Amino acid sequence: NPQNEPDLIAPYTYLSTGQPWKTTDVVHAALTLFTDAPTGMTGNDDLGTMSAWNVLSSIGIFPVQPGYDTWGLSTPVFERVDLTLDRRYYPRGALTITATGTSDRDRYIQSARVDGSSYGRTYLTTESLRGLRALSFTVGAEPSDWGTSA
């Protein structure tokens, strides 16, 4: 229920059960509840909580464990996102997230790459995220075995 903020991490629990495609299904279904109309947000934004969930889930990363430095990975809804980041916290100053061909049909992660190297885990730590230049996803129409042993 994306209107109930304590449940915002619920879709991401599938990442730790070896079923990351279920995270994709639930997150993408929840994202359809948001629109760009004046009433396009479910519930109350509560100082940006719902907006932050929408943005982070849309770009494919989300802090899945409050109080810990764990960021879950899911399929972005954008083919490319270029983030300009504060160099005090992110020494690289920028992060590019790509998912070429992502769509309602092709929404399942087939593989992931971190700075060009194959990456099979369903999460990143804040420390590793701070040092990244590029996070890229290959997507397809069917669930794969990516992240099933993470």
What is the reported pLDDT for 39? 79
What is the reported pLDDT for 67? 85
Q: Which residues of the chain have pLDDT under 50?
A: none
Vertex 94: Cα angle to 55 and 57 (nearest 5) = 15
What is the reported pLDDT for 1? 54
- Judge contact between 144 and 108, C-beta under 8 A: yes
- Judge contact between 94 and 87, C-beta under 8 A: no
What is the reported pLDDT for 3? 59
In order of their start, the domains of the chain are 5-140 (3.30.2080.10)
pTM, to two decimals: 0.92
Residues linked to residue 119 through DSSP beta bridges, in sequence order? 112
